Amino acid sequence: MYLSTHLRYWYFTRVLLFYMLEAHLWFCESSALCTDDPLEKQKVYKFRGDLALKQGNYQKALDVYSSCLELNSANNLTIRRDVLEGMARCCTELGQRDRALHLTDLLSKDASNTCHLISILLLKVRIYQHFGALASRMSCLQQLCILLPFNPWHWFNLGQMCLELLDSNSTSGSCSLQSCEPAEKTQNDGDIQEQQEEEEAAELDGDRVWLKACTCFIRTRLLLRFLRQQQSSFVLQRTESTLQTTDEVLQRLNPKETTLQTLTEVVSEDLIPDKMREDSQDGESLSSVCLQSFKERWWNKILLTGVLETDGRPQTQTHTEN
């Protein structure tokens, strides 16, 4: 499945709501706030914030959302989540990185199922992309691949990010963690923080980024080939276009045939049709979900194959010529 059922419903209702709002902007009238009902006032502020955000008036949207949040009761989590997400998007566009991430932390505390977590991760990806936080963005994309392992688009996006890193490395040399990742406040012990930074820096190494790109696009191709058997013509057109892009990227990365075969074997181990159709983590309670890390599920297995040592990164010349 491309999107979970809950996420598709959420997206549809949000789009429908925007059309309804534009058709009748009753909430913009001065009389809209002339009510003693706090819930109605929340709706007015939220709708005004949504409209300002859509129009690109981020400071106005942030102010209105803040007014809505002040009226929000602790038990109205639906409006609270929408408002916090809207505020985080506004802060991102306004360059307020720390506040945007603080708002996502508040969202995380309210998350109760995998759909909430997926929405938060997608929001974080956008924030980290906006501020050039490469290691954090990669971490979020990898978490999305873990939560929805049979969704080809998260794998494709992770692969595209790896391509961006390779492009950056080819023009400016290896990308250090300090130059690519804005400093984050942490309460960790100095030694633990240093070890974490070393691990993150290792993941941004050119050879590993190239290998991860190959892995992601191979997995994307496998998933799209399976899913296109179930698709309508409209969706199929996008799938075929992405498959063509994936094939072109793999030609550009230029792994050896033995590397392709090895990586295909590793990332196709769990591609069992019945298991893929179940998509069992759709909307599951977080308390019942037990997830391996990206490293445990795929990356360690890939590194143990030794393809980095045998392939020798033949893509360098091809990549820089593009």
Residue 113, phi then psi, degrees to nearest 5: -145, 175
Cβ distance 219 to 157 under 8 Å?
no
* 248 found inside a domain: yes
Say yes or no to pLDDT of 176 above 90: no
Least confident interval from 8-12, 91-95, 174-178: 174-178
Cα gap 157→142, rounded to integer Å: 10
Region 189-215: mean pLDDT is 75
Q: Is the pLDDT of residue 43 over 50?
A: yes
Q: Quick one: pLDDT at residue 273?
A: 80
Residue 65 token pair: 């959302």
Please give the Cα distance from 211 to 310 (Å, whole number).
12
Q: Which domain holds residue 161?
A: 151-170+202-312
Q: What is the mean pLDDT of residues 181-201?
A: 57
Instruction: Tell me how far apart the alpha carbons of residues 167 and 303 are, in angstroms, rounded to a whole number.
Output: 23
254, β-bridge pairs: none
The set of residues, in sequence order, having a beta carbon less than 8 Å from that of 68 and lying 6+ positions away, is 42, 45, 46, 49, 79, 83
> Could you tell me which residue, 57 or 38, shows the higher pLDDT?
57
Inside any domain, residue 69: no
- Domain count of the fold of the chain: 1
Chain Cα centroid distance, residue 203: 18
Closest-CA residue to 66 (of 49, 44, 41): 49
> 246 near 224, Cβ under 8 Å?
yes
Question: 224: which 2 tokens?
Answer: 């799209």
The residues near 165 (Cβ < 8 Å, ≥ 6 apart) are 134, 175, 204, 206, 209
How many angstroms separate the first and last alpha carbons of the chain?
A: 33
- Give the model's confidence band at 224: pLDDT under 50 very low, under 70 low, under 90 confident, else very high: very high
The per-residue pLDDT of the chain, averaged, comes to 81
More confident residue, 318 or 249: 249
Answer with the residue of higher pLDDT: 217 or 288: 217
250 assigned to some structural domain: yes
Structure tokens at 245: 């892009």
Q: What is the pLDDT confidence band of residue 320, given thresholds at 50, 70 and 90?
A: very low
- Asked if pLDDT for residue 28 goes beyond 70, the answer is no
For tokens 């419903």, name the residue. Answer: 9
211 found inside a domain: yes
Average of per-residue pLDDT across 93-108 = 97
Helix (H) and strand (E) counts for the chain?
18, 0
Residue 2 in any domain: the answer is no
What's the rounded mean pLDDT across residues 127-138? 94
Domain-located, residue 268? yes
Please check the confidence at residue 143 and state whether its pLDDT lies above 90.
Answer: yes
Using only the alpha carbons of the chain, give its radius of gyration: 22
- Rounded Cα gap, residues 298 and 143, in angstroms: 12
Q: Which of 115-119, 159-163, 168-172 has the lowest mean pLDDT?
A: 168-172
- Does any domain span residue 287? yes
Token reading at 51 = 């409209």
- 225 falls within a domain: yes
